Chains A and B, each alone.
Chain A
Amino acid sequence: MLKTLLSLTLFLLSLAASLAAQTTTTVSRPPASSEASPADELARRGPSSRTPDASEAARFPEPESGAVDRDVYANPYFALSYRLPQGWTESLKGPPPSDTGYYVLSSLKTAESTPGSNGMILISAWDMFFLPRPAGNPLGLLQDMKETLSPVYVLEMPPKEIKVGNHSFARFGYTAAELHWQVLVTEVRCHFVEFAFVGRDTELLDGLVQGMNTLKLPPEAEVAAKDSAGFPACVKDYASGDNVLHKVDPVMAGPRFTSVPVRIIIGADGRVKHIHVIHAFPDQARSVEDALAQWVFKPYRRNGVAREVETGILFKFPADEEKLPPVKETY
């Protein structure tokens, strides 16, 4: 009797275990209010921007200012718009831009009501002026990605150049853990704009890549020329050497040994028209903005005509040559 009861018990336990692999569970979540921490408002690192002539502020969107509205992700900085695939929705917000000029522009997911076809789309951008691993073009970025891929991934599509609509992209595909990735990258305003698609279903992914044909980007010729009427030219290291006629160094602020990447737009008159501090503590951002507003540059010229130019500067706190007294370690 005892033996039978024990056998039955173990049988039921194993049945429960096998069922466990097929059914869902609900893990209790902290209340939504836990997302709204008052702590969050204090001294957070992030972006900041200033347009000295406030009347022109609307002319200068930032890379992070895109949003999903009525099933379209629109980003005025990149003049990009992407219609969300049917049944997809915006997911959690990504982090603010990083100190290497990396942006999570938008994260998209399949709606909860479509189990079995779950996937993700991550739209992101790298500022080419601050890349931690330099790459000259989208294909170079993906080739570098391929070379450093973990052995867990299996190559499905080596990096290659393709056309999406009328735009040049580089594309790369790989798989692991029954998931498949398709990564497409293009270049806009000296940024690599990246679409990463991931899911279990290769047909789903192929459909998503096909759907990229509806993507709207600035005309390729304008991007290539880098000085169209729509965009300022983007020129690496323009704010250096003889191009700088007058400069004021930022005052040391915030934690030491931190870097602050900044993009500025210089007007045809050589004055700073817009400052975008990509990643800084608030007092560092103020210091940089106050200083840069006073800089004067030699006007950028193309074909003999002075034009607006966009460039990047990396400020270090403290500057390399700056000597400061020691600080107490914090615990």
Chain B
Amino acid sequence: MARRKFAQLFSAPADAVAEFVGARIGQRVAETPASIEVSIQKAGRKTRRRTPLITMFATALFLAGTALAQTDPGVRGGAAGAGGSLSGLNADEQAFFQAATKRFQEVDSVSGNVPGENGSGLGPRMNMNSCAGCHAQPAIGGSSPLTNPQVAFAHDAGATNTLPSFITANGPVREVRFISNANGTPDGGVHDLFTITGRSDATNQPNPSGQNITCSLTQPNFAQQVANHNAIFRIPTPTFGLGLIENVSDTTLIQNSTNPLNGVFGISGAFNHSGNDGTITRFGWKAQNKSLLIFAAEAYNVEQGVTNEGFPQEREEDPNCQFNKLPEDNTSIPGPVANNGNNASDYSSDIVNFAGFMRMTEPPAQATVTASVANGEKVFDAVGCALCHVKSQTTGNSIFTAQSQRTINPFADFKTHNMGARLADGVTQGGADGRHFRTAPLWGAGQRIFFLHDGRADDLLEAIRDHASNGSEANSSVELFLRTLTRQQQQDVLNFLRSL
């Protein structure tokens, strides 16, 4: 980690270099009168620190002697290039988006009566209590933030959870899946990290019949599962621009992914399909989800434990933990369930609002294209990365204003590809087996902190290298990147990726 941060200096402009030196040194050395003021930018948050100049000098000497080569420039600073509504929406659509954004930020408790946690239906088992808690970087709707909110949430409202070893303050937000059941049959499902046990709204509280109950659940034995190599992890996928992806026709996806050049690079891949209607599924790490509404409904039940009109049963049906009528989230008949200034939103269920928010978020905007970035894109294309990370798709006819036949640049073909032994997670979802993952869209990569399905990489170079291992379709492209490109070309590719 330290190596990467130092290395970032070499491709950064002078002001960023000063920022970086300040960040490293200012955290360790007491302020002295002989100091200059530098600003630190870390994951979008700016603070000011005073840094001793003599230490800067010593650091520069050190760096001159240990110069590093091509490096990930790091998380792009400045304003979040995402998080707003689709450009061109009319006033009604924008009002819905604004209201839906508030619903996406809603924090749930069991009862809805915990201060600051007005939503209800949390648990009995869950990973977090808000969509926006995990989908946070660089703006609401994004991916895992720098500071993992699950650490504090483990003890929210008196909860008595033990923090699993793989959840850390500066690590990625994670869900855990078990590869197989105790009897050896495939599992693959999410096993929630936390329970509501010990919470004030789950202790001696009335159930729907008026009887006071206390929930007392135990967490799965994560330490044992980790020791058995039976636990794999997933981090939140960014949701920006997904409404446009939802609107791309299957025909367009197929046309854009069938390139005769694939054979020169060892690439094939396959689309995942809905088991019901046979159309292409495109959301989730394995492209296992068909629509944003299904995705939202299932995530609400799995990640937060909130039953809804898509998934009306609790995953944990211990009678001492059932405090609400089901489903806990629903369309309102008697009156609005929220008061966010838009009738369509206020009368709709949370899951409809979540899907609406995702459908109307603008894709991440690319930063200024420098000469290095422009060259990086050409090199990225040349070595075959763009055969899976297909730059452009075109939407079909959309119900939303100004979104039909719109060309977008997700840098993904939405196929699943064999990513080899190193990334294999052993989980089969639809037609994607334990080695297959959906091509991750690269738009927004410039402001991502964690990469790959389990967040194992916080460095783009590391993420690229992890694409190669026995069995991976990316081997040729990674080998070309690492072994035939000049260091400047490699740096240009990294700069290009951080511009997205």
Interface residue ranges, A against B (CB under 8 Å): 2, 5-6, 8-10, 12-13, 15-25, 27-30, 34-45, 91-96, 98-100, 102, 104, 107, 109-110, 118-120, 122, 124, 126, 132-133, 141, 144-145, 148-150, 152-153, 176-179, 181, 183, 194, 196, 198-200, 255-258, 281, 326-327, 329-331
- Distance between Cα atoms of A96 and B472 in the complex (Å): 9
Whether A92 pairs with B469 at a CB distance below 8 angstroms is yes
Q: Using CB atoms, name the residue of chain B closest to A123.
A: B266
A153 to chain B, nearest CB (A): 7
- Distance between Cα atoms of A100 and B270 in the complex (Å): 9
User: Which residues of chain A are within 8 angstroms of B386 by Cβ–Cβ distance?
Assistant: 150
User: Which residues of chain B are within 8 angstroms of A181 by Cβ–Cβ distance?
Assistant: 264
- B10 interface hit (Cβ, 8 Å): yes
- Distance between Cα atoms of A133 and B421 in the complex (Å): 29
Whether A122 pairs with B64 at a CB distance below 8 angstroms is no
Whether A179 pairs with B425 at a CB distance below 8 angstroms is no
- B381 interface hit (Cβ, 8 Å): yes
User: Which residues of chain B are within 8 angstroms of A10 by Cβ–Cβ distance?
Assistant: 14, 60
User: Which residues of chain B are within 8 angstroms of A28 by Cβ–Cβ distance?
Assistant: 3
Interface centre among B290, B294, B435, B436 (most CB of A within 10 A): B435
Give B187-211 as 1s and 0s: 1 = Cβ < 8 Å from A's Cβ atoms: 0101000000000000000000000
Q: A98-B270, A327-B276 are in contact. Are A43 and B433 (CB under 8 A)?
A: yes
- Distance between Cα atoms of A258 and B197 in the complex (Å): 43
Whether B469 pairs with A122 at a CB distance below 8 angstroms is no
Among A176, A177, A194, A256, contact of B273 (Cβ-Cβ < 8 Å)? A256
Beta-carbon contacts under 8 Å, B248-273 to A = 258-266, 268-270, 273
Among A29, A36, A179, A281, contact of B480 (Cβ-Cβ < 8 Å)? A179
Whether A177 pairs with B266 at a CB distance below 8 angstroms is no
| 15 intermolecular pairs with C-beta atoms under 8 Å apart | A17-B9, A22-B69, A27-B459, A36-B421, A39-B426, A40-B435, A92-B472, A94-B266, A94-B471, A102-B262, A118-B484, A124-B263, A181-B264, A281-B433, A329-B276
Whether B462 pairs with A107 at a CB distance below 8 angstroms is no
Interface residue ranges, B against A (CB under 8 Å): 3, 7, 9-11, 14, 17, 34, 36, 53-54, 56-57, 60-61, 63-71, 179-180, 186, 188, 190, 229-230, 232, 258-266, 268-270, 273-276, 278, 284, 288-290, 294-295, 298-299, 302, 378-379, 381-383, 386, 418, 420-422, 424-431, 433-436, 456, 459, 461-462, 465-466, 468-473, 475-476, 479-480, 483-489, 491
Whether A20 pairs with B294 at a CB distance below 8 angstroms is no
Whether A43 pairs with B434 at a CB distance below 8 angstroms is yes
Whether B426 pairs with A42 at a CB distance below 8 angstroms is yes
Among A6, A43, A118, A153, contact of B186 (Cβ-Cβ < 8 Å)? A43
- Distance between Cα atoms of A260 and B342 in the complex (Å): 50
The 9 closest A-B pairs by CB, nearest first: A39-B426, A98-B268, A19-B67, A257-B273, A176-B382, A177-B382, A20-B10, A95-B418, A327-B275
Q: A118-B484, A198-B484, A258-B273 are in contact. Are A34 and B475 (CB under 8 A)?
A: no
Whether B475 pairs with A13 at a CB distance below 8 angstroms is no
User: Which residues of chain B are within 8 angstroms of A118 by Cβ–Cβ distance?
Assistant: 483-484
Q: Using CB atoms, name the residue of chain B closest to A324.
A: B275
Whether A107 pairs with B475 at a CB distance below 8 angstroms is yes
Whether A255 pairs with B264 at a CB distance below 8 angstroms is no
- Distance between Cα atoms of A147 and B290 in the complex (Å): 33
Whether A331 pairs with B60 at a CB distance below 8 angstroms is no
Among A24, A35, A177, contact of B69 (Cβ-Cβ < 8 Å)? A24
Whether B71 pairs with A40 at a CB distance below 8 angstroms is no
Q: A21-B491, A39-B179 are in contact. Are A255 and B276 (CB under 8 A)?
A: no
Q: A5-B53, A25-B7, A109-B479 are in contact. Are A122 and B264 (CB under 8 A)?
A: yes
Among A43, A93, A178, contact of B428 (Cβ-Cβ < 8 Å)? A43
Whether B263 pairs with A331 at a CB distance below 8 angstroms is no
User: Which residues of chain A are within 8 angstroms of B422 by Cβ–Cβ distance?
Assistant: 30, 34-35
User: Which residues of chain B are within 8 angstroms of A149 by Cβ–Cβ distance?
Assistant: 261
- Distance between Cα atoms of A15 and B421 in the complex (Å): 40
- Distance between Cα atoms of A131 and B54 in the complex (Å): 66
A154 to chain B, nearest CB (A): 10
User: Which residues of chain A are within 8 angstroms of B179 by Cβ–Cβ distance?
Assistant: 38-39, 42
Whether B70 pairs with A25 at a CB distance below 8 angstroms is yes
User: Which residues of chain B are within 8 angstroms of A22 by Cβ–Cβ distance?
Assistant: 69, 487
User: Which residues of chain B are within 8 angstroms of A43 by Cβ–Cβ distance?
Assistant: 186, 428, 433-434
Whether B471 pairs with A93 at a CB distance below 8 angstroms is yes
Q: A27-B461, A38-B229 are in contact. Are A148 and B433 (CB under 8 A)?
A: no
Among B67, B190, B466, contact of A331 (Cβ-Cβ < 8 Å)? B190
User: Which residues of chain A are within 8 angstroms of B57 by Cβ–Cβ distance?
Assistant: 5, 8-9, 12
User: Which residues of chain A are within 8 angstroms of B424 by Cβ–Cβ distance?
Assistant: 37, 39-40
Interface centre among A37, A119, A181 (most CB of B within 10 A): A37
A197 to chain B, nearest CB (A): 10
Among A94, A133, A153, A327, contact of B475 (Cβ-Cβ < 8 Å)? A94
Among B65, B425, B476, B491, contact of A122 (Cβ-Cβ < 8 Å)? B476
User: Which residues of chain B are within 8 angstroms of A16 by Cβ–Cβ distance?
Assistant: 9-10, 60, 63-67
- Distance between Cα atoms of A34 and B263 in the complex (Å): 28
- Distance between Cα atoms of A147 and B382 in the complex (Å): 16
Among B68, B475, B489, contact of A23 (Cβ-Cβ < 8 Å)? B68
Among A13, A178, A200, A256, contact of B9 (Cβ-Cβ < 8 Å)? A13
Q: Using CB atoms, name the residue of chain A closest to B294.
A: A329
